[in-house]
Chains A and B, each alone.
Chain A
Amino acid sequence: DAKTTQPPSMDCAEGRAANLPCNHSTISGNEYVYWYRQIHSQGPQYIIHGLKNNETNEMASLIITEDRKSSTLILPHATLRDTAVYYCIVKRNTGNQFYFGTGTSLTVIP
């Protein structure tokens, strides 16, 4: 599975959009981009995933660049409850072995 690079930490003002970047320059054609988050002392929570088209659900939007070498997770109106570690994972859409990197620790500030 391709390696990902994320900034270790970010801050975001409450109510503003949080844009979390992820670089995956070695991604291959059959690998998807997944985003999970982990609120402190809880199990991770699935957010969204995509292959090459932008995706949106009730939690977030995922923007994948045309060359697929990077992506951005957007939380449109961040709340204090969105404070968590966000993990970007690239893997093929077979099996469910997920290998987590170090993620981005997002702090939403009042």
Chain B
Amino acid sequence: GAVVSQHPSWVICKSGTSVKIECRSLDFQATTMFWYRQFPKQSLMLMATSNEGSKATYEQGVEKDKFLINHASLTLSTLTVTSAHPEDSSFYICSGGRGRPGELFFGEGSRLTVL
């Protein structure tokens, strides 16, 4: 299957700082990528759809100014958690597809801990 890589795998930061998570499609081009958040023992929650060359589309209840998404190229989308607080501590996962509906490839996830 296609490969999606995230970096960093885990990050610890102080409250009030911003953290950037990268999501790369290594062997395919992704015009659309998706960002999810997962709290412990809960399911994945879709946060936003990242569109190459245009603004991201956020799900209801997700603060776009808090979670900045940039999709500057067909192989890279970034999620920046701005002014992070302990409640933002979570497992963030990205995904992308090769254009075939329904077949998504997920990254390994990035675990954020805000102290």
Give me the interface of A with B, judged by CB distance under 8 Å: 32, 34, 36, 38, 41-46, 49, 87, 91, 93-103
Extra 16 A-B pairs, beta carbons < 8 Å, given A46-B103, A103-B43: A34-B102, A41-B109, A43-B6, A43-B95, A43-B107, A44-B93, A44-B95, A46-B105, A93-B101, A95-B101, A96-B101, A96-B102, A96-B104, A100-B36, A100-B45, A102-B43
Q: How far is the CB of A35 from chain B (nearest CB, A)?
A: 11
Question: Which residues of the other chain, A, contact B43 by a CB distance below 8 angstroms?
Answer: 87, 100-103
- Shortest Cβ distance from residue A83 to the other chain B in the assembled complex, whole angstroms: 15
Interface residues on B, range: 20 to 34
Chain B minimum-CB-distance residue to A34: B102
Q: Which residues of A contact B109 (CB under 8 A)?
A: 41-43
Q: Which of chain B's residues have a CB closer than 8 A to the CB of A102?
A: 43
> Chain B residues in contact with chain A, CB under 8 A?
1, 4, 6, 32, 34, 36, 43-46, 49, 91, 93, 95, 97, 101-109, 111
CB distance from A28 to the nearest CB of B (A): 16
Compute how far the CA of A54 lies from the CA of B85 in the bound complex, rounded to whole angstroms: 47
Cβ–Cβ contact A46 & B1, under 8 A: yes
Q: What B residues does A96 contact at CB under 8 A?
A: 32, 34, 95, 97, 101-102, 104
Residues of the A chain whose Cβ atoms lie less than 8 Å from the Cβ of B6: 43
Distance of A37 Cα from B109 Cα, bound (Å) = 14
Q: Are A43 and B102 in contact (CB under 8 A)?
A: no
Q: Do A44 and B106 have beta carbons less than 8 Å apart?
A: yes
CA distance A99 to B95 in the complex (A): 13
Name the one of A32, A41, A87, A103 contacting B91, with C-beta atoms under 8 angstroms.
Answer: A41
Give the nearest-CB partner of A32 in chain B: B102
Cβ-defined contact, A43 with B108, below 8 A: yes
Q: Which 6 residue pairs spanning A and B have beta carbons closest together? A: A43-B106, A100-B44, A93-B101, A100-B43, A96-B97, A44-B106
